[in-house]
């Protein structure tokens, strides 16, 4: 269709060939799964959001109860707009577009629908946590090099320090930066290997996908290297946490022997702080040994409590969802704090069968916290690999249902 004027509460905004935002009076449309819907449930664009245009795709608008393509008034292309949300906000809808034949695969970001209301930008999102500790403004880049230099001087032969310095300075990783700012949750990568092949892994990708935004750690740190840096960080007075299982590594349980020895050294030296692991929880036995050595909490990454969906996304090698759930149940009996790292994309997690599976699992009572994560992936690629037949009930509805059984947020809230 050709652009025409129509009054609407939320209207289409797109990017033209010159890189300028173009506001319209055309009714906006959003996407959930493979379904297009009229736009609703929007908030003003949060500070710290990034805007991106989507190449090889044509924007859509809502006309006569259906989505229609917007055609450029001239021969120059126009592009759909998407937002990348800051920490503390959960995505409610995907951007709506028609994919063209030559469209490239989108890089790994959490694409969120953007619309206009009275010439102001709005996004399909909900604030679901306090982002204060993860606000980039609390990470002064001008002070980071000096902080890195100080830790390098204190721990001159520790390879983890060098690895994390690269992550902090080049990738702007906040958990790496926390090590050097000596506060809050600091990441300690340990494993170059993984036993899953998740779609859109941010540290290692097969050739059919897009480039990973960061490189995976290439060495296995010794227990002494792990303990040395961990002890330094846990002596901080600012709510120190060390976390194994970062975006720049594989599965930390594959380095469980080194971590177990490191934990023994750590807890003989200090009882301060929290020791956490972000893990796929494939081995109950390994986790129980780590618990005995001093592990306080785990955050288990799961996109679904439905076995077929879990297998299709995580593509595990040598374990299953049942192994993960058995580990969680056993660890709760040992007093471990357990969070779920729930990867969300509108139109999948909020379908009736997915919601029912989560309810059945949460009723068991061993999950203490649900951390919502916006899945970073090309929506077309994702739903081509994992097709969905049911219609989603909405991410807001998902959050409401999950909240009946456990707190829902975006960040870890640990206490001993």
- pLDDT, tens digit, 9 for 90 and up, residues 66-85: 999 998 877 789 999 999 99
Task: Give me the percent of the chain exceeding a pLDDT of 70.
Answer: 94
* Crossing angle of the two packed helices 223-234 and 174-181, in degrees rounded to 10: 70
Query: Residue range 259-272: average pLDDT?
Result: 97
For residue 75, count other CB atoms closer than 10 A to its CB. 6
The pLDDT of residue 394 = 96
The burial class, CB within 10 Å (0-12 / 13-18 / 19+), for 322 is exposed
Q: Is pLDDT at 147 greater than 80 in this prediction? A: yes
Which pLDDT belongs to residue 295? 97
Could you please state the CATH topology (level 3) that the domain comprising 132-409 is classified under: TIM Barrel (3.20.20)
Q: What is the pLDDT of residue 3?
A: 44
Burial class (CB in 10 A: 0-12, 13-18, 19+), 384: exposed
Residue showing tokens 């999948």: 348
Each residue's pLDDT tens digit, 187-204: 999 999 999 999 887 655
- How sure is the predictor about 234, in pLDDT bands with cuts at 50, 70 and 90? very high
Q: Which of 7-11, 52-56, 57-61 has the lowest mean pLDDT?
A: 7-11
183 pLDDT more than 70: yes
Strand segments, DSSP code E, in 21-175 are 21-27, 29-32, 35-38, 43-44, 50-53, 57-63, 66-69, 78-79, 81-84, 89-91, 94-95, 97-99, 111-117, 120-123, 125-127
Structure-block tokens of residue 190: 């340990």
pLDDT tier at 1, thresholds 50, 70, 90: very low
The pTM of this model reads: 0.91
Domain boundaries, the chain: 11-127, 132-409
* Average pLDDT of the segment spanning 93-115: 95
Is the pLDDT confidence value at 283 over 70? yes
Contact call for residues 59 and 38 (beta carbons, < 8 A): no
- What's the pLDDT tens digit per position in 325-374? 999 999 999 999 999 999 999 999 999 999 999 999 999 999 999 999 99
Q: What is the DSSP string of 80-101?
A: -EEEEPPTTEEE--EEPEEE-T
**pLDDT of residue 46 exceeding 70:** yes
Rounded to the nearest integer, the mean pLDDT of the chain is 91
Cβ neighbours of residue 245 closer than 8 Å, sequence gap 6 or more: 189, 251, 252, 277, 278, 279, 299
pLDDT category at 142 given cuts 50, 70, 90 is very high
């Amino acid at each position: 269709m050709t652009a025409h004027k129509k009054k609407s509460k939320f209207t289409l905004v797109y990017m033209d060939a010159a890189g300028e935002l173009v506001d319209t009076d055309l009714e906006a449309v959003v996407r959930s799964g493979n379904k297009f819907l009229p736009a609703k449930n929007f908030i003003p664009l949060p500070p710290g959001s990034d805007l991106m245009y989507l190449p090889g795709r044509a924007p859509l608008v809502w006309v006569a109860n259906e989505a229609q393509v917007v055609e450029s008034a001239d021969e120059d292309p126009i592009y759909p707009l998407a937002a990348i949300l800051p920490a503390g906000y959960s995505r409610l809808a995907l951007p709506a577009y028609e994919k063209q034949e030559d469209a490239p695969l989108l890089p790994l970001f959490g694409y969120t629908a953007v619309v206009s209301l009275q010439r102001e930008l709005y996004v399909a999102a909900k604030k679901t946590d306090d982002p204060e500790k993860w606000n980039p403004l609390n990470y002064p880049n001008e002070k980071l090099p000096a902080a890195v230099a100080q830790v390098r001087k204190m721990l001159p032969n520790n390879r983890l320090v060098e690895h994390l310095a690269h992550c902090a300075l080049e990738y702007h990783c906040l958990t790496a930066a926390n090590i050097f700012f000596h506060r809050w949750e600091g990441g300690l990568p340990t494993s170059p290997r993984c036993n899953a092949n998740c779609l859109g892994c941010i540290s290692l990708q097969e050739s059919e996908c897009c480039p990973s935004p960061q490189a995976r750690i290439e060495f296995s740190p010794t227990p002494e290297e792990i303990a040395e840096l961990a002890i330094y960080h846990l002596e901080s007075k600012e709510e120190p946490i060390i976390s194994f299982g970062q975006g720049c590594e594989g599965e930390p349980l594959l380095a469980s022997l080194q971590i177990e020895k490191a934990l023994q050294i750590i807890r003989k030296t200090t009882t301060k702080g929290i020791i956490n692991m972000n893990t796929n929880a494939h081995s109950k036995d390994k986790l129980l040994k780590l618990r005995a050595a001093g592990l306080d909490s785990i955050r288990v990454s799961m996109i679904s409590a439905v076995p077929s969906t879990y297998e299709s996304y995580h593509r595990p090698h040598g374990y299953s969802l049942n192994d993960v759930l058995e580990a969680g149940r056993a660890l709760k009996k040992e007093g471990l704090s357990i969070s779920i790292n729930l990867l969300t994309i509108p139109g999948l997690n909020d379908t009736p069968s997915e919601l029912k599976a989560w309810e059945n699992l949460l009723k068991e009572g061993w999950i203490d916290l649900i951390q919502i994560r916006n899945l970073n992936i090309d929506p077309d690629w994702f739903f081509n690999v994992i097709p969905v037949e049911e219609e989603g009930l909405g991410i807001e509805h998902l959050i409401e249902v999950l909240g009946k059984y456990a707190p829902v947020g975006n960040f870890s809230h640990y206490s001993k």
